[in-house]
């Protein structure tokens, strides 16, 4: 019985699903980012339901989430005969594509050009807070940010240090790789290690469900931290092992052509 694809599928969904942190709109963003990136991609409403409902999400919750994503300008919908189809807007596609460069990077280059920006209460703090809204900088203290690449513009009231090398204390490693991030990463790694061999005979919808669950969890690990120099990694950081395992499993689950599925 353990070789039955349906049994494997049910066990895997149960293993990978995290009902405690299941924002439906975010699951849909993961799904479209993974399998609906082409401008021509249209995913039918019932295909979407077939992929998402095994996770335990009700059709009514999917409708509410799609409504929200349309309102946010991320997704648009159209009628196709008696059915509805859904697709990324230009803006949603652009934002997905930007995140994808990090989510799907199998061997990210750690930048070698870093800078530290320093403010003081009342001197540059507002500038620093704005810099920290970008995804190129991470807070390493209340008044201090670490970033890569060129200096951001308009930061004349910050001390900018062109940094060559770092010696990093444990309290700072823990701040940039907080316990819940390390734990989310370690749990994903462990869950993936327990999947067993992927059956060859899954349906395209089943493949899509498992891909969505994996990409969704990995996305929430990888987008929560910068690719910092190794000196910032806590010894228990399982990021690289987890990344390797994510792509090893995804490679066994080739992307199905969802728009081609009959709705």
**Residue window 46-85: x/- pattern of binding to a second copy, with contact defined by CB under 8 A:** ----------------------------------------
Q: Residue 19 interacts with a second copy (CB under 8 A)? A: no
Nearest distance in Å: CB 107, a second copy: 26
- 116 binds a second copy, rule: CB under 8 A: yes
Rule CB under 8 A: is residue 123 a binding residue for a second copy? yes
Nearer to a second copy, 61 or 172 (CB): 172
**159 touches a second copy by CB under 8 A:** yes
CA 29 to each of CA 24, 48, 84, 146, 199: distance values in angstroms, whole numbers, following the listed order:
9, 12, 18, 29, 26
The C-alpha angle 170, 149, 157, rounded to 5 degrees, equals 85
Residue 150 as a binder of a second copy (CB under 8 A): the answer is no
Chain CA centroid to CA 45, Å? 23
Using rule CB under 8 A, residue 153 touches a second copy:
no
Using a 10 angstrom Cβ sphere, with 0-12 exposed, 13-18 middle and 19 or more buried, the burial of residue 1 is exposed
163 near a second copy (CB under 8 A):
yes
Joined tokens for residue 192: 């993936």
What is the distance between the alpha carbons of residues 75 and 96, in angstroms, rounded to a whole number? 11
Q: Looking at 24, 69, 144, 208, which residue binds a second copy (CB under 8 A)?
A: 144
**181 binds a second copy per the rule CB under 8 A:** no
Q: Does 140 bind a second copy (CB under 8 A)?
A: yes
Q: Where are the alpha helices (DSSP H) in 177-255?
A: 179-193, 204-222, 239-251
* Of 224, 220, 207, 217, the residue nearest 246 (C-alpha): 217
Q: Closer to a second copy by CB, 172 or 252: give it.
A: 172
Tell me the site size for a second copy, rule CB under 8 A: 28
Measured in whole angstroms, the distance separating CA 48 from the mean position of its chain's CA atoms is: 19
Does position 151 bind a second copy by CB under 8 A? yes
Can you give the binding site for a second copy, defined by CB under 8 A? 116, 118, 120, 123-124, 140-144, 151, 156-172
């Amino acid at each position: 019985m353990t070789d039955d694809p349906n049994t494997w599928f049910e066990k895997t969904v149960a293993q990978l699903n995290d009902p405690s942190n299941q924002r439906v709109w975010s699951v849909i963003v993961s799904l479209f980012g993974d399998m609906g990136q082409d401008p021509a991609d249209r995913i039918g409403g019932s295909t979407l339901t077939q992929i998402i409902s095994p996770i335990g999400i009700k059709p009514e919750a999917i409708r509410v989430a799609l409504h929200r994503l349309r309102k946010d300008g991320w997704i648009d919908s159209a009628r196709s005969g008696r059915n509805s189809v859904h697709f990324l807007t230009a803006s949603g596609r652009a934002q997905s594509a930007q995140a994808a460069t990090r989510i799907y990077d199998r061997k990210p280059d750690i930048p070698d050009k870093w800078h530290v920006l320093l403010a003081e209460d009342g001197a540059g703090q507002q500038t620093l807070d704005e810099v920290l809204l970008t995804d190129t900088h991470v807070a390493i203290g209340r008044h201090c940010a670490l970033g890569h690449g060129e200096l951001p513009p308009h930061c004349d009231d910050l001390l900018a240090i062109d940094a060559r090398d770092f010696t990093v204390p444990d309290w700072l490693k823990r701040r940039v790789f907080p316990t819940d991030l390390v734990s989310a990463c370690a749990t994903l790694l462990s869950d993936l290690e327990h999947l067993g061999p992927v059956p060859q005979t899954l349906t395209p919808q089943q493949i899509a469900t498992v891909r969505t669950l994996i990409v969704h969890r990995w996305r929430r690990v990888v987008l929560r931290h910068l690719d910092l120099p190794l000196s910032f990694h806590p010894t228990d950081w399982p990021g690289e092992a987890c990344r390797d395992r994510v792509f090893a499993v995804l490679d066994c689950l080739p992307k199905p052509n969802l728009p081609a599925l009959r709705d």
